[in-house]
Amino acid sequence: MAGLTVLEVLRRLDSGPRGLLETQADHRLAHYGENALPARRPVSWPARFARGLRDPFTGVLLCLGLVSAAVSSWGTACVITVLVLVSCALRSRAEYRADRSAAALRELITTTATVQRQAGPASAPRTREIPVDQLVPGDVIRLTPGDMVPADLRLLRASSLTVHQAALTGESKPVTKFPLDAPGRDPLADAALFEQPHLCFQGSSVASGSGTAVVIATGAGTRFAGAYGSTARRRGESAFDRSVNGISWILIRFMLLTPPLVLMANAALRGRGLETLPFAVAVAVGLTPEMLPVVVTAVLARGATILARRHEVIVKRLPALHDLGAIDVLCTDKTGTLTQDRPVLHCSLTPDGRPGPEPLHWAAVNSLWTLQLADLPAPDPLDEAILDAAEPEGYEYEGVAALPFDPVRRLAGALVRRPGRTGPHTLVVKGAPEDVLDRCTRVRTAGHDAEDTEIDSAARQRLRELVEAKAAQGLRLLAVAVTELPAGLPAELPAELPAGRGRLTSADEHGLTLTGFVALSDALAPTAPDALTALARSGVAVKVLTGDHPGTAAAVCRDLGLAIDPGTVVTGDRIAELSGPALAELAARTTVFARCTPEDKARVVAALRESGYTTGFLGDGVNDLPALQTADIGLCPRDAVHVTREAADVVLAAKDLTAIGHAIAAGRHSTGNIVTYLRITLSSNLGNVIAMLAAGLLLPFLPMLPAQVLLQNLCFDAAQLTFALDRPAPAALRGPATLRPHAFLRYITGFGLLNATADLATFAILTLTVPGSGHPAGQAAFHAGWFTENLLTQALVMLLLRAGRPAPAPICLAAAALAAIGLLLPLSPLAPALGMITLPGLYYLLLASVLTLYGAGLALANARHQRRYGDGSS
């Protein structure tokens, strides 16, 4: 449809400029389905199950199963298959529940689109907000800054519309879009599809300006869905992915190395051949933390649900909860997060710093007409404050064209004329004082004998000093300037023509006359000072990245209690000059960045990430989008603009900064639980593997039958599911929590060796108490003895290898169940089938002493580790 005229497009879509009838829209929704990306559609159970099979641990288990089947070790192969099926089923269930609760949370923050529809053929079109998934082809929608482009669109009207298409083209700068009636005859029609000026695509978002468009494709029919299929957009590896993948790959290497090592050692020292293979495979399986994905999903889903219920914080992507716990730098914008973004007019000042009405008068004319001329007026709090304070000034003028505010230019322009009068039009520009002053050549003196004079360098310096002085009081200052433009130049030309074709453009904003300033004050967010103090106490450095004046930013930060020296505020110009390590170094040592463009904010965040910080970004405006997407974790308040809410990983339901502290604590809590689970599982598994290897070499028979190894593994796996309900040590909540693969390795090796020592001591007492290991009965008793000891040591590890707090009831119960199985199974009627027999009483007596010593050793070593490293993570 790219080459058709607007009329042809509307006709093909059986729509019109007034929009669809409600009944038409209902039929289309039934026909085309919801406007949702394939990735957002519910996943079927078979697909979910198959996804579980793609996990690397499952892959390794399946390989080991195949090896067992190849050497006809059917028992081992069957147990491995059961293990894989159980872990996939549990994982599918955990993911299903997690997805369901994440979807329920997302429901709370549905993105909407402004659609124009008619109740009946004779009724007037009505504009209303509907969830984006209800849009259908043919719908006429309105676009405003901060909106997601909700489907593929053909523009009908536009006013200075620019869109971010980074997700589609990788281009970070916004591109201009405008309607073309007959694109086939326009030279711009040769541009690549995404560059076509008259088309907007799902996956992009409105940076500035406004527009009206007709939906040409929805859901799976959009270009975005076509290009990205069922995979969601990713911002690269998150802190969570990095740590879990790091640990997984270390383990996988171990697992792959184990069977050949066992085979070689047995062949070299015991002269055994391939008959050891099932045992070697079982040892490798024993090392696998099959339940890792299940426990991780369950822990994160539980954390996210509790966070939403207690603190109204919505985590849209589960791994984001871990990343929240790992945040060590939180960057935030100022307006709307640290301040309330409900500015009120403080004063209207003439260029000589005295109160005077003229600047407010022109500011109000500008605000009114930039809003009125937008396709969908999106009131900006600054404009609202100006209009609230002024008389209805703008109505004595008629708006001709507007250049809406955009955060890169930091200016807004409105071209107005007096109705019924001929003569030149007036261009009224308001914006950041530095940017307006750069475009001013004259200044208007106040009073009855007001006249315009050239600005010389001394006057320019005085104006700058005035701005600095007001900013230092924490006021937000806008400069207001005017100029006359000949009528007929841009006025009668359609505003949607691209730059350079005669419409009002930013190039017209020059040679201005400064009329003065309006100063606005914005109160601090009430919870911000306490929230910032709490964040600092919990080891999170806060950095402020704002588009506002350095003086205003510094004053606000001081009022909030952030320790900064006014000279250390870095501005966007400085950021733009630097790159690589120099920028990283500046970003690390600076607390406040002012006059930042959206791109500057993103570059600071990227530099911090490159220096190894786990960086969160909290923002609410369209100017925060690039930074939000660059950060490890994007946060926004619930009333942020659509696109920001859509891009954020975490949405704070209430505009209360203390919620961030709770969210970070919940992230640390979840990570703490995952860390405890991994420590206990891996050190215990490693201990068993070392002991099995040593015993395999020392004994003339296999220390445990493959089926026994796997059964013990299954019991331990089931018990570990209770770690989702754990409570980490308070120390784990005091600082950023991360999973550090190498620190882990050290930890599990130490405790694994301790575990192996207990196992080897058990071998010694078994050799003493169970004679006749040369015949099957002796071997069965040996196997039973070790099985019992293994489950008892695992129960002990679950209770003792913890950081500080006593284990909660479910973990205690699971440990008790493990101990009961370990003690009772060899005595039960099932024992012979599993190759075990009853043990002599003396063994239990000696085992009790080994376990007491092991428990004491474990508690001592754990306490020493706590003293040394303090935290509950690794």
CB of 127 to ligand ATP, least distance (A): 23
Stretch that binds ligand ATP, among 543-551, 697-705, 753-761, 796-804 (CB under 6 A): 543-551
Output the CA–CA distances (angstroms, integers) from residue 672 to 86, 97, 282, 667, in the order listed. 25, 21, 30, 8
The residue (of 60 and 545) whose beta carbon lies closer to ligand ATP is: 545
Torsion of CA 15, 19, 24, 30, to 10 degrees: 100
Please check whether residue 520 is in contact with residue 382, taking contact to mean a CB–CB distance below 8 angstroms.
Answer: yes
| Smallest separation, CB 112 to ligand ATP (Å) | 22
CA–CA dist 246, 14 (Å, integer):
54
Q: For residue 34, what are the contacts with CB-CB under 8 A and spacing of at least 6? A: 133, 134, 219
Residue 216 in tokens = 């040409």
Which residue, 169 or 521, has its beta carbon nearer to ligand ATP? 521
Site for ligand ATP in 809-828 (CB under 6 A): none
Answer yes or no whether residue 432 interacts with ligand ATP by CB under 6 A.
yes
Residue carrying structure tokens 């479910």: 810
**Per-residue mark of binding to ligand ATP, 562-601 (x: CB under 6 A):** ----------------------------------------
Instruction: Tell me how crowded residue 51 is: count the other CB atoms within 10 A of its CB.
Output: 14
Residue 441: strand, helix, or coil: strand
Distance set, CA 447 to CA 222, 450, 520 (Å): 59, 5, 23
Contact flag: residue 409 with ligand ATP (CB under 6 A)? no
Tokens of 128: 């209303």
- C-alpha–C-alpha distance, residues 491 and 400, integer Å: 6
Applying CB under 6 A, does 509 fall inside the site for ligand ATP? no
Rule CB under 6 A: say whether 430 interacts with ligand ATP: yes
Q: Is 491 helix (H, G, I), strand (E, B) or coil?
A: coil
Contact 286, 685 (CB under 8 A): yes
CA-to-CA distance for 542 and 511, rounded, in angstroms?
41
Select from 113, 156, 382, 733 the one that contacts ligand ATP (CB under 6 A).
382
Residue 456 designated active-site: no
Q: Do residues 340 and 369 make contact, with C-beta atoms less than 8 angstroms apart?
A: no
d(CA 616, CA 387): 35
Shortest reach from residue 383's CB to ligand ATP, in Å: 5
Phi, psi of 494 (to 5 degrees): -60, 135
Range 208-247, binding ligand ATP (CB under 6 A): none
Residues 6+ apart with CB under 8 A from 743: 874
Q: How far is the CB of 861 from ligand ATP (least distance, A)?
A: 50
Q: Which is nearer to ligand ATP, 405 or 613 (CB)?
A: 405
Nearer to ligand ATP, 322 or 334 (CB): 334
Tell me the closest approach of the beta carbon of residue 157 to ligand ATP, in angstroms. 21
Nearer to ligand ATP, 139 or 147 (CB): 147
SS3 152: strand
Stretch that binds ligand ATP, among 147-155, 379-387, 515-523, 683-691 (CB under 6 A): 379-387
**Residue among 48, 59, 42, 56 at smallest CA distance from 241:** 56
Q: Determine the Cα–Cα distance for residues 366 and 404; give it in Å rounded to an integer.
A: 10
Q: Residue 349 and residue 356: Cα distance in Å, rounded?
A: 5
Q: Of the listed 323, 333, 548, 649, which one is catalytic?
A: 333
313-315 sheet: strands from edge to edge: 313-315, 650-652, 633-637, 615-618, 329-332, 541-545, 592-594, 570-571
- If DSSP codes are grouped into helix, strand and coil, which group holds residue 303? helix
Closest to 784 measured CA to CA, from 666, 696, 705:
705
Give residues 460-489 in contact with ligand ATP (rule: CB under 6 A).
Answer: 476, 478
Which of 394, 431, 634, 728 is the binder for ligand ATP (CB under 6 A)?
431
Query: 822-861: which residues touch ligand ATP (CB under 6 A)?
Result: none
Q: Is the dihedral of CA 529, 530, 533, 538 positive or negative?
A: negative
- Under the binding rule (CB under 6 A), the answer on residue 661 touching ligand ATP is no
Applying CB under 6 A, which of residues 55, 152, 358, 380 lies at the interface with ligand ATP?
Answer: 380
First to last CA, the chain: 57
Can you tell me which of 35, 546, 644, 793 binds ligand ATP, judged by CB under 6 A?
Answer: 546
How many angstroms separate the CA atoms of 680 and 211, rounded? 58
Smallest distance from ligand ATP to CB 400, Å: 18
CB of 377 to ligand ATP, least distance (A): 12
Q: Residue 522, interface with ligand ATP (CB under 6 A)?
A: no
Using CA atoms of 621, 38, 171, 205 in order, give the dihedral in degrees to the nearest 10.
Answer: -30
CB of 552 to ligand ATP, least distance (A): 7
C-alpha closest to that of 737 among 801, 670, 806: 670
In this chain, which stretch among 187-195, 424-432, 692-700, 702-710 interacts with ligand ATP, using CB under 6 A? 424-432
Binder among 145, 621, 785, 822 for ligand ATP (CB under 6 A): 621
Amino acid code (one letter) for 689:
V
For ligand ATP (CB under 6 A), the number of binding residues is: 21
Among residue numbers 318 through 377, which ones bind ligand ATP (CB under 6 A)?
A: 333-336
Rank residues 146 and 407 by Cβ distance to ligand ATP and give the closer one.
407
Which one of 303, 351, 490, 547 is in contact with ligand ATP (CB under 6 A)? 547
Tell me the per-residue interface mask from 143 to 162 with ligand ATP, x by CB under 6 A, - otherwise. Answer: --------------------
Among 95, 139, 508, 548, indicate the residue that binds ligand ATP (CB under 6 A): 548
CA–CA separation, 705 and 692 (whole Å) = 11
Q: What sign does the dihedral 687-691-692-694 (CA atoms) show? A: positive
In terms of CB distance, is 477 or 784 closer to ligand ATP? Answer: 477
CA dihedral over 767, 768, 769, 771, signed as positive or negative: positive
Cβ at position 113, least distance to ligand ATP in Å: 23
**Cβ distance to ligand ATP smaller for residue 615 or 713:** 615
**Segment near ligand ATP (CB under 6 A); pick from 142-150, 180-188, 380-388, 564-572:** 380-388
Q: Which is nearer to ligand ATP, 331 or 847 (CB)?
A: 331
407 makes contact with ligand ATP (CB under 6 A): yes
- 638, 109 Cβ separation under 8 angstroms: yes
405 binds ligand ATP per the rule CB under 6 A: yes
Q: Give the residue with the Cβ less far from ligand ATP, 520 or 729.
A: 520
For residues 25 and 345, which CB has a smaller minimum distance to ligand ATP in the complex? Answer: 345
Smallest gap from residue 544 Cβ to ligand ATP (A): 8
Which residue is closest to ligand ATP by CB?
547
The binding track of 738-757 with respect to ligand ATP, each residue x by CB under 6 A or -, is --------------------
C-beta closer to ligand ATP: residue 126 or 173 = 173
Identify which range of 392-400, 403-411, 558-566, 782-790 contacts ligand ATP by CB under 6 A.
Answer: 403-411
Two structure tokens written together for 578: 């630097």
Shortest approach of ligand ATP to residue 575 CB, angstroms? 13
- Minimum distance of ligand ATP from residue 736's CB (angstroms): 25
Query: CA–CA separation, 435 vs 506, rounded Å?
Result: 12
Q: Which amino acid, 138?
A: G
What string of DSSP letters covers 754-818?
Answer: HHHHHHHHHHHHHHHHS--TTSHHHHHHHHHHHHHHHHHHHHHHHHHSSSSSPPPHHHHHHHHHH
From the CB of 312, what's the least distance to ligand ATP, in Å? 22
623 binds ligand ATP (CB under 6 A): yes
Catalytic machinery residues: 333
Residues that bind ligand ATP (CB under 6 A): 333-336, 380, 382-383, 405, 407, 410, 412, 430-432, 476, 478, 546-548, 621, 623
